[in-house]
Chains A and B, each alone.
Chain A
Amino acid sequence: MKLISSYIKEMKIAARGFYFYIETSFAVILLLVLLLAVNENPVSRQKEYLSSDLPAQFTQAMIDTGISEGTARWADDTEFVLKPNSFEVTNKQTDEIIKYDFDEEQTVMVSTLENLDPKTKELASTAYFFDAEEDLIRVLYDQKYVGAVLGLTNTGELSYKYYLQGFETERMVDLLSVLNLGSLDELEEASKAIEVRSLGSFTNLNNRQNLIPVFLTFTGSLMGFFIVMAYIFLDKDEGVIKAFAVTPSSVWKYLLSKTMIIMTTVVFSSTIIMIPIMGAQPNYLLFYPFLLITTFTFAALGLLSASFFDSISKSFGLMYGLMIVLMMPAFSYFIPSFDPLWLRFFPTYPILQGYKEILVSNGDTGYVLMYTGIFLAAGIIIFLLANFRFKKTLTV
């Protein structure tokens, strides 16, 4: 009864304070960012600058094939301005240097072909076909692009002459060299033969959904840690913590009512993000216990931290330091190649992974349940420590 009474009181205070609205507004802002600023499936559109030495019929046949298969379409010609310039081009194979001098500005209209994604039929790349190789070189030099001239070898095979800027890595030059060793047919066959397997289990999350674990970790665990500290310092500031200390109620009820209010707020703010983005896809019976328990653990950590300080200003160093450290696993989340062993010991690492497993349709339930249990045990221990500290320092 005393716990419920404390909880109701905390709800009233939270509803009349600004921290509750900060967290709710933050969740709404994150939702808007996800819905309006993050594409579900972003397309990386490339630009190709080409010139053809191929017989006209050969080029036309290639393009017609693409158009008939629905993977290409003609667009309006593009206008390029060729500025007066002077530069040298070095042949990497023969070391021959050719000097170019262009005194006059010219404008050329260039045939433009749009290549479409075979599956989505969305624009994948745009190819510009320059009639003259010199025009292509002038544009490449001026706009710092890479381009190619298509031709035929003596044996009738397709050949590529690349114009690079000179600052490309050896690895890229080597890649371009081997890329077109075989015929196009061979390349296509080889490409089809490559079996792609995902190492992660989150491949069925789109770009927008993939951001949710980070947002949930931030609005749940880290904001919970920060806001519970703020609530404690508000009480210390008002002196009401002293008034509570001279009642028959136990300290743990006071502390638990604080964590309960944080958990309520986090459920509210997380649901604001989850439902509109994820719909019915996640296992919510797995999600809410994981959310509540990880929030409880971090709120308990906030309580324990607050017990060492008598004002929020004195705790800033610890608060920000811990929050920055705890956000570090997000780097690994977005850059999978950065995944050092030591980072896995950060508590936010399994939280991020846990949310990811919950969100994907075929997630690892065992992983989530295991960490739900681990965080519950850790949360109880930290809470007991906080209770011990507050019993000793309630009036600090």
Chain B
Amino acid sequence: MISVKNLSYSYNKDDNLAVNNISFEVAKGETFGFLGPSGAGKSTTQNILTGLLKLQQGEVTVGGFDLKKVHNERFNKIGVSFEESNVYGKLIAKENLKFYAKLFDVPTRDPDELIALVGLEGKEKVRAGEFSKGMKHRLTFARSMLNNPELWFLDEPTTGLDPAIAATIKDIIRDRAAKGTTSFLTTHNMYIADELCDRVAFIIDGEIHLIDTPKNLKIKYGKKLIDIEYVKENKAVKETLKTVDEQDKKRIGEIVANYDIQTMHSKEATLEEIFIEVTGRGLV
């Protein structure tokens, strides 16, 4: 569905590359996560794929359309949910969706249904300018589904939402994935990526460091961990130790033998911890 070969991009058209010679492919029906900290090149890549930035170098096809040529009709297949909500503040929620629905050449979904789907029922006739940030974000998200997109670009889809609404949004993404929608998800939230993505790419400083499934990454890089909390000299001490590391194994034995254990939990390495291990950088 998406094919990117040797993509590079510079905002000033010089050697300072925001995206540096990246290549990847996204298969039909796949949910692909593009993970990295702020300024890593995630949004630049997504903006090139959605046509908001002009392709400078590399070969890119999106939904079967070569980005070197202008094909406005490709947007009939594409939905884009922006990180920054962007709706007409002077139009009511329903008018916002109705207006964009008329810009597509394919059958579109009922605005009322979409508004209800993102938890904004009862707000159809409220001007978007009066919405909270989270409500605007949900309306932007709803708009991206108007044309039943085959390819869905999601930029930080749950950022700024309360946990209940975020869970609803994640359910919608899962539901569409089950129906065969291809999703390209950019985020710095590894938990969302872990929950939703079939494969993830780690991008930092404009370069992709690895691409794999979250499961494979955990097998390859993740090590079983144990959190132990014990009392030492009347003070609570907490340590995280790897169960596959010989030194850590010995240490676990020492602690159990010599100290009063308060809590002990085993856990898997998170995608975030793997990201730090692979790239040497955090996600903030």
**Cβ contacts A to B, 12 pairs, < 8 Å:** A2-B103, A5-B103, A12-B90, A17-B90, A238-B88, A239-B82, A239-B84, A243-B80, A243-B86, A244-B103, A392-B54, A395-B52
Which chain B residue has the least Cβ–Cβ distance from A243?
Answer: B86
Assuming the contacts A243-B143, A244-B103, A248-B75, asked whether A394 and B86 have C-beta atoms less than 8 A apart, the reply is no
* Complex contacts, A248 vs chain B, CB 8 Å: 72-76, 103-105
Q: Is residue B185 contacting chain A, with contact meaning CB distance below 8 A?
A: no
Q: Indicate whether A250 sits within 8 Å of B143 (C-beta atoms), given known contacts A5-B103, A239-B86.
A: no
Q: Which of B48-95 touch A at CB < 8 Å?
A: 50-54, 72-76, 78, 80, 82, 84-91, 95
Inter-chain CA distance A242–B90, complex, in Å, is: 17
In the assembled complex, which residues on chain A have CB atoms less than 8 Å from the CB atom of B80? 243, 246
* Interface residue B24 (Cβ < 8 Å from any Cβ of A): no
Q: Are A250 and B102 in contact (CB under 8 A)?
A: no
Contact status of A246 and B95, CB under 8 A, knowing A2-B102, A13-B90, A238-B87 = no
* Bound: A1/B103 CA distance, A: 8
Q: B51: which A residues are within 8 A, CB to CB?
A: 245-246
Task: Kindly state the separation between the CA atoms of A12 and B52 in the bound complex, as whole angstroms.
Answer: 27
User: Is A247 an interface residue when CB atoms closer than 8 A count as contact?
Assistant: yes
Interface string of A17-30 (1 = CB under 8 A from B): 10000000000000
A173 within 8 A of B: no
CB distance from B127 to the nearest CB of A (A): 8
> Pick the contact of A247 from B84, B86, B103 — CB < 8 Å?
B103
Residues of B within 8 A of A392 (CB): 54
B3 on the interface (CB 8 Å rule)?
A: no
Instruction: Tell me the number of A-to-B contacts counted with CB atoms below 8 Å.
Output: 71
Asked if B102 contacts A5 (CB within 8 A), the reply is yes
**Minimum CB distance partner of B106 in chain A:** A248
Q: Given the complex of chains A and B, what is the CA–CA distance between A247 and B72 in angstroms?
A: 7
A55-B85 Cα distance, complex, nearest whole Å: 94
- Nearest CB of A to B203, in Å: 21
A43 in contact (CB, < 8 A): no
Cβ-based interface call for A9 (8 A): yes
Q: Does A99 contact B (CB under 8 A)?
A: no
Within 8 A of B (CB), among A217-253: 238-240, 242-250
Chain A: CB-nearest residue to B78: A246
- Residues of B near A171 (CB, < 8 A) are none
Q: Does A197 have its Cβ within 8 Å of any Cβ on chain B?
A: no
Within 8 A of A (CB), among B133-172: 140, 143
**B47 at the A interface (CB under 8 A):** yes
Bound CA span A9–B73, Å: 22
Q: How far is the CB of B183 from chain A (nearest CB, A)?
A: 15
Proximity bits, A269-285, B CB within 8 Å = 1, else 0: 00000000000000000
Known: A248-B103, A248-B104. 6 other contacts (CB 8 A): A239-B82, A243-B143, A246-B52, A247-B103, A395-B47, A395-B52
* B100 on the A face (CB < 8 A): yes
B191 at the interface (CB under 8 A from A): no
Taken together as a complex, chains A and B put the C-alpha atoms of A125 and B99 apart, in Å, by: 67
Q: Is A192 an interface residue (CB 8 A)?
A: no
The answer to whether B82 touches A249, judged by C-beta atoms less than 8 angstroms apart, is: no
Check if A92 is an interface residue, CB within 8 A of chain B: no
A119 within 8 A of B: no
Q: Which residues from chain A contact B100 at a C-beta distance below 8 Å?
A: 243, 247
Inter-chain contacts of B127 with A (CB < 8 A) = 16
Contact B90 A16 (CB under 8 A): yes
Contact A9 B91 (CB under 8 A): yes
A242 with B82: in contact, given A5-B99, A12-B95, A394-B52 (CB under 8 Å)? yes
- By a CB distance below 8 angstroms, the chain B residues around A250 are 72
